[in-house]
Amino acid sequence: MAKDLTLLLLLALPLLGFAVNGLFGKNLPKIMVGSLATGVVFTAFLLATTLFSGLHGTQIVHLFNIIDFDQLQINASFQIDALSVWMTLIITGIGSLIHLFSMGYMSHDEGYHKFFTYLNLFIFSMLLLVLGSNYFVLFFGWEGVGMCSYLLISFHYNDAQKGLVNSLAGRKAFIMNRIGDVGLLLALFMLLGQFNTLEFLQIGAAVQQNTALQGGAMFFITLSLFIAATGKSAQIPLFTWLPDAMAGPTPVSALIHAATMVTAGIYLTVRSNFLFELAPFTKDIMLYVGLATTLFAAFMALRQNDIKKVLAYSTVSQLGLMFVALGFGAYTVALFHVTTHAFFKALLFLGSGSVIHGMHEEQDIRKMGGLAKLMPVTHFTFLIGTMAISGIPFLSGFFSKDEIMAQALHHNAFAYVVLVIAVTMTAIYMFRLYFLTFHGAFRGGEALKSKVHESGLSMTLPLVLLAVLSVFGGLLNLPGLFFKGAAHWFDHYLSHSTFGLSEVHNVHLDFNTSIGLMLFASAVAIGVMIWAYLNYAKRGALAKEDAALSGWERLSAQKLYVDEIYHAAFVKPLLALSDFIGKVVDIQMLRNGIYALADGILHSANLTRKWQTGFLSSYLFWMIFGLITFIAYYILKLSVWH
C-alpha cells in the first residue's frame, strides 16, 4: 500500500474507534467495545511497522489547505520520517498493550465505553501531534491531548467520595497545561513572523541557509517552546499537576503520564533541534531546570506512601533527566531514554494497576506487603521494571541512563554530580516501593488478604510483554564499547532521516572513561539494591507513620510544600481578586453606578418638567427671553467680537 494511504489510514483508525464507541458504545456489549478500541490501535501499530520497514528519507503527505493566502499558507499535512514513525510505534504499540490491560482493569466500571472512547481520541490526538509536518498540526494535537488528559483524569467525577478530588485534579492538569500552551502559541506567532511559514522542513531549510539569524529572536522562540514543554512534560515550575493526575484510573496514568503525553515536550524539542542549536542560552536553561526537576522530584518520592504517587514523582524525575540530555544537545540520547522509559514506566504503572486491582482499590503501601506469593506474575514483572529504572546493568534503563551520564561527565562536572545523586535516590525510592509492596508480612488485615488474587490474562499479558521490552530494550542503542558493528543503531536510525539531526554529533567518551562510568553506575545501582534488601526485607523496616517522620522526611512526604506555596502565591490572590471584582467592582461600582446614573437622569427630568407650567404668560416670557438672547448674541458678534 502506498505510504500516504497507510498514514491516513493510521490516523483514521483511532478516530473511527472514537466515533463508533462514542456514538454506539452504550448499546454494544462490553467485549465488543474493548476489542474494537484495542483492535484499531493495534492495527495502527501494524501499519506503523510497515512504514517503519519502508522508511526512506522524509516524506510529506498533504491532506488539504487550512489557510491559503499569498503570504500565508498553513496545511493539514503530515510527515513520515524516522522521528515521527518511531514515536508512532511507541504510541500505538504501548497504547495497544494498555488498551488490552484496560479491558480487564475497567471491566467492572460503568463508563466502560466512555473510557475507550476517550482513550481512542487520545491516541488520535497524540498521533496528530507526532505526525504533523508543521507546528499548526502539532498544536492541534497538543491541545487535543491536553483535553483528553483532562477528560480522563477526571473520569470518575461522579465518585461519591473522591469525585471532587478527581475533578479538581483534572482541572489542575488542564490549567497548568494551558499555562504552557501560552508559550507554544507565542512561539508559533514568532515563528510565523520570522519565517512566514510553520512547516518544519521549510523552517529548517531557512535556518540553515541564513546563518546570520539574530540570536535574540531565536532565544525567545526557543524559550517559548521550552515553556510549552515545561507545561506538558511537567518540569519545574509546572509539575504539580502530574502527581495529582494520579487520581485518574491507572491505565490513564500509564498511557498518558508515563509513556506518551508527557513526552510531547521532548518530541517538540527534538523536532525543533535546529532552532535550539542556535540558542545555547536556552539549552543552558533547559539543562538547569532539568537538573533541578530531577533532583527535587526524586527527593519528594523518597517518602511517598501511595504507590502511584511514587511512580508519578519518578516520572517527573525521569523527564527531568531527559531535559538534561536535551540541554546538552544530545537529542537522540534523550529520545532513547524516552523509549526505554516508556517501556519500564508503563510496565511499572500497569503493574501497580494490577496490584491495586488485586488489593481491591487500596493504594497505600503501608497496607500492602508480602504480595510476592499472592501475585507472582505481577511481582516478577514489577521487579524487572524496578531494576530497569534503577539502572541495574544490562537492562534497558542502564544503557539509556549511562548515555546521559556520559554526556554530563563530558560537558559539565557539576551536572554529573547532581545526576549521580538523583540516580541514587531513584534507586532508593524504587526499591523501597518494591520491597514494601511485595515483601514482608501482609499489613492490610486478614479479611483483605483472602480476597487478594492475581489478575487475569488481559492484564498480565501486557505486563509480560513490557517486561521483555524493558529487559532487551537496551539493544537499540548499545554503546560503542562492545558490538562495534551494531552499536548506536538508534542514533544512526534517527539522525539519518530526521531533519537537523544529521548535523548533531553526540559525545562519545574514550574507552577507559566509559568503562569507569559504567562500573560506577552499576556499583551504585547494585549497592542500593543490596542495601534495600537488607533494610526492608531482612530487617523488616516499614514505612513510618506520619507522626514519626523526622524533619527531612516530612519535607519529602509533604512534597517540599510546593502545592501549598503555589496555593498561597497564586491561587489565593487570584481568588481574592476575583472576589473583589465580583463584590466591589461589579456590584458597587458598576451596578450602583448605573443605578445612580439612571436616578440622576430621573431627577433632572423631574426638575425640567416643572418648566412646563401650562401658563401662556410664562411661555411668552421665555420666548421673549430667547429672542433677547438671540439678538444680543448677534449684536455682540457683529460689533464687539469682530
Partner 1 sequence: MSLQIISIILGSLTLASALMVVLSKHPIRSVIYLVVTFFFITSMYIMMNAQFLAIVNMIVYAGAIMVLFLFVLMLLNLNKEMEPMNTKGAQLAAFIAGGSLFLVLITALKDTLILGQTYRQQDNSIGLVKELGNLLFTKYVVAFELTSILFIAAMVGAILLAKREKQIIE
Partner 2 sequence: MQTASSIGTSLDFFLFVSFALFTIGAIGAMTRKNMIVLLMCIELMLNAVNLMLVTFSTYYGNGDAQIFVFFTMVVAAAEATVGLSIIIMAYRNLKSIDIDMYNQLKN
Paired strand residues for 76: 64
Residues numbered 50-79 forming contacts with partner 1, rule: CB under 8 A: none
Q: Are 213 and 233 in contact (CB under 8 A)?
A: no
Q: Are 479 and 579 in contact (CB under 8 A)?
A: no
Residues numbered 606-635 forming contacts with partner 2, rule: CB under 8 A: 609-610, 612-617, 620-621, 624
d(CA 126, CA 122): 6
Q: Before 573, cis peptide (omega within 30)?
A: no
Q: How far is the CB of 631 from partner 2 (least distance, A)?
A: 11
Which of partner 2, partner 1, none binds 633 (CB below 5-8 Å, type-dependent)?
none
Q: How far is the CB of 611 from partner 1 (least distance, A)?
A: 14
d(CA 432, CA 427): 8
Q: Are 295 and 422 in contact (CB under 8 A)?
A: yes
Q: How far is the CB of 617 from partner 1 (least distance, A)?
A: 6
Residue from 574, 575, 625, 637 that binds partner 1 (CB under 8 A)? 625
Q: Are 375 and 358 in contact (CB under 8 A)?
A: yes
Which of partner 2, partner 1, none binds 639 (CB below 5-8 Å, type-dependent)?
partner 1
> 422 is written with which cell numbers?
538523583
d(CA 614, CA 610): 10
Which range binds partner 1 by CB under 8 A, 89-97, 345-353, 440-448, 630-638?
630-638
Q: Are 270 and 83 in contact (CB under 8 A)?
A: yes
Complex with partner 2: residue 67 or 620, whichever CB lies closer: 620
| CA diameter of the chain | 118
Residues numbered 108-137 forming contacts with partner 1, rule: CB under 8 A: none
Q: How far is the CB of 616 from partner 2 (least distance, A)?
A: 5
Which of partner 1, partner 2, none binds 612 (CB below 5-8 Å, type-dependent)?
partner 2
Which of partner 1, partner 2, none binds 616 (CB below 5-8 Å, type-dependent)?
partner 2
Tell me the three state secondary structure of residue 260.
coil
Q: State yes or no: residue 637 binds partner 1 (CB under 8 A).
A: no
- If one counts every other C-beta atom within 10 angstroms of the C-beta of residue 263, the result is 28
Which range binds partner 1 by CB under 8 A, 237-245, 509-517, 566-574, 633-641?
633-641
Which of partner 2, partner 1, none binds 175 (CB below 5-8 Å, type-dependent)?
none
Continuous segment of H or E residues that includes residue 136: helix 135-153
Complex with partner 1: residue 511 or 634, whichever CB lies closer: 634
For the chain, give the number of residues: 642
Q: Which of 129, 264, 137, 135 is nearest to 199 (CA)?
A: 135
Complex with partner 1: residue 550 or 612, whichever CB lies closer: 612
Q: How far is the CB of 617 from partner 2 (least distance, A)?
A: 5
Residue from 627, 637, 641, 642 that binds partner 1 (CB under 8 A)? 627
Angle among Cα 381, 384, 390 to the nearest 5 degrees reads 140
> 637 is written with which cell numbers?
458678534
Q: How far is the CB of 627 from partner 2 (least distance, A)?
A: 9
Which of partner 1, partner 2, none binds 632 (CB below 5-8 Å, type-dependent)?
partner 1
Which of partner 1, partner 2, none binds 613 (CB below 5-8 Å, type-dependent)?
partner 2
Residues numbered 315-344 forming contacts with partner 1, rule: CB under 8 A: none
Complex with partner 1: residue 580 or 634, whichever CB lies closer: 634
Residue from 621, 637, 641, 642 that binds partner 1 (CB under 8 A)? 621
Non-local CB neighbours of 402 within 8 Å, separated by 6+ positions: 391, 479, 517, 518, 521
Please list, residue by residue across 455-489, b when 16 or more beta carbons sit within 10 angstroms of its beta carbon and e when fewer do.
beebbbebbebbbebbbebbebbbbeeeeeeebbe
Tell me the three state secondary structure of residue 391.
coil
Helices (H) and strands (E) in the chain, counts: 28, 2
Q: How far is the CB of 633 from partner 1 (least distance, A)?
A: 10
Which of partner 1, partner 2, none binds 614 (CB below 5-8 Å, type-dependent)?
partner 2
Residue given cell 438672547 in the structure block: 629
Which range binds partner 1 by CB under 8 A, 206-214, 543-551, 573-581, 617-625?
617-625
Q: How far is the CB of 605 from partner 1 (least distance, A)?
A: 25
Residue given cell 501511595 in the structure block: 306
* Total residues at interface with partner 2 (CB under 8 A): 11
Q: Are 163 and 157 in contact (CB under 8 A)?
A: yes
Residues numbered 552-611 forming contacts with partner 2, rule: CB under 8 A: 609-610
Which of partner 2, partner 1, none binds 609 (CB below 5-8 Å, type-dependent)?
partner 2
> 385 is written with which cell numbers?
521494571
Site residues (vs partner 1, CB under 8 A):
617-618, 621, 624-625, 627-628, 631-632, 634-635, 639
Site residues (vs partner 2, CB under 8 A):
609-610, 612-617, 620-621, 624
